[in-house]
Structure 1
Amino acid sequence: MSLIKSILSNKNYRVAAVVALLTLAWLASGLMGDKQDVIPAAEVAGEETLPLVQAARLQAQPYATTVVVNSSTEPNRSVRLRAELDGVITKVPVEEGSNVSAGTVICEVGEEDRRQKLVEAEAQLAKARLEYQGAQKLISKGLNSQTALAQFKAALETARVVQKRAELDIERLQIKAPYAGVVNRRMVELGDFVRRGEDCAVLLDLDPILVVGQVSESQVGLLRKGSTARAKLQVGGEITGTLRYISSETDPITRAYRVEVAVPNADGKLRAGISGRLALPTGEMLAHKISPSLLTLDDEGLMGVRIVDDQGRVRFVRVNLVGDAADGVWVTGLPREILLITVGQEYVGEGDLVKVSIEETTGANKVIEPVGGERTEPRVEK
């Protein structure tokens, strides 16, 4: 009692006690009051608590499907120019790597006595012609037999053959290009002796140049001759041509079908033997072109994108990558029309209700504000 009396007699103690009693009374009033008077923070904030994401409305577009195979460039034609006569090479007017037109002389064999043989054959032909004409006149007068006339005719035909062969030998002295192309290699030099059938040079036709690949039996039936194909070259650059040939039988080793794409090459910049990747059209499907940075993985490690559904909620949709382009990638598996989240997808998850700022080509952004799980009419964000 003496302690209580001393506390009450002290002014500071009395003030502290009053403050403590008031505090307890205030706390008790809050705990025991009507709960309906308490407003949750979430209700006070309302729609302002919804995360804002940016999205683009995309439509599915026709996409040409392709089969991509390894390939290499080849000449349109390649021929080995061979000597048709024995003899010494007396002229090599064209250097290796030169572009030549049809009929250009690549190598020339020496005449030797072939010119004289032609002169002799022409003289024998003239003699045989006169003898045959004389025999015909005698037959008309009854002074010669049909047998004799037949002999003179045979002699005339033999002389013609010998004369023609001598002419051909003169022509064959010059080994000419059968078509316009590039002298890729020359096997002889001035003074070399060649025999009939030996190589003089290799001539390549590089316009058009061919891009050649092999397609499996499961894919070859999807190809169509005349369709446009493209190839990315290992050295850089992309070329476009026409699918002109599809083999009707498989390669005995690879069990695949050879295909050829003809590419214009008038300037001769493309060379044979360049490797690359050949894309051959096989059909068409509906797909969406998106930025590869928008692709993400779900909990199972499968690829997809995040979209906003008609209720304004985030959905993860799995996609399949079917192709690429210079400004994005092509994917399938999405609805025909989607609202694709482009900014803010890292901060939202499956089923989240969001506020959406829609990307517009005009530059204006429209905002869709979900209320109670439903979207209101879009309004322009100020």
Structure 2
Amino acid sequence: MSHVIVIGAGQAGASCVAKLRNGGFEGAITLIGAEPALPYQRPPLSKAYLLGDMPLERMFLRPDSFYADNNITVRMGDAVTAIDTSAQTVTVGSDTLDYTDLVLTTGSSPRRLPASIGGDLDGVFTVRDLADVDKMAPWCQSGKTALIVGGGYIGLEAAAVCCKLGLTVVLVEMADRILQRVAAPETSDYFRTLHAGHGVDLREGVGLTRLTGDGTVSGAELTDGTALDVDLVIVGVGISPETGLAEAAGIALDNGIATDAQGRTSAPHVWAAGDCASFPYKGDRIRLESVPNAIDQAECVAENIMGAAKDYVARPWFWSDQFDVKLQIAGLNTGYDRVVTRDGGTAKSFWYYAGDTLLAVDAANDPRAYMIGKRLIEAGKSADPSVVADPAGDLKALLK
């Protein structure tokens, strides 16, 4: 009998097994995850869950009964230690499991500070999984001082939550501006103003030299010579794809586990999807770190295992919640040469162009601009910059 094994029980893994069974796959399905909890939503971890607004039960992607009712074997708290692509087996603990198809949805892991600069002190955290946030929560007490290292979206979201919990927050970003790698100066300016208005001490062009403390972090020395007293540190300096299993099995890597347009890796009957996978996109190869991509790519792989022979067509979109602002991003801004700002007061959006071609939209509390921009980008259409720049301009007319 056919047997699909999925390694990695995050959003991609859970989406893949559900699509297989809902799509009529009748063989055996096994989902293996290193964490003890059932597959859950990760975005609320550092926001609603840490704030106490969302219990763990509400974060599960599907109840335990879903897997039992659909005859999906779930092995949580089990780590796969080896893959043999020739024998088509995986090793889990003392067990060797045979597969007819294997899907790698191993996700990504946060980059950590080196131990040589204090990265292994107690009170230094990354935000990636349930264990991270459960460990960090008791430290996030009102009146304490949190140092956030990194001014990307992860760091900014952590800063916003710490502020809401009543902590004093200092954020350092080594680059010249926050969000420098992922957004235009206009978007950086917007979020700098937002955070400053909520009391975040935001320092750009300033890095971390080292953390200090006797076993537990108590201070930080910055590259500008400043010394800070801190009670905890949250590190948000990016993530790396989890490729160790694939590399050890001899599967080709290229900024992640390299796949073809349909999700196949270099090994027969082995597929990959989600944060760990890189794939062809508009003549290039990219890796997308987002929930929508994890779902869509994993479902496409499931369909292809069932014989669909379907190329994955990425439709990039992302979001970030900070204070009372919901940022929605459509498209990829790589290669932009100008940005057009639409200022509707509380609603503001930034439209990225390469020449006359619309590439992406950053929409802050502006769901209308986001939806219209997303539809235009996916349809390969552009948008008249003069209409975009005029707050009274009819965006909907751009769709006609």
Which category describes the TM-score, using the shorter chain as reference length? under 0.3
Higher strand share: 1
The TM-score, its normalising length taken from structure 2, stands at 0.17
State the structure with bigger RCO (CA 8 A, min sep 6), 1 or 2.
1
Which of 1 and 2 has greater Rg? 1
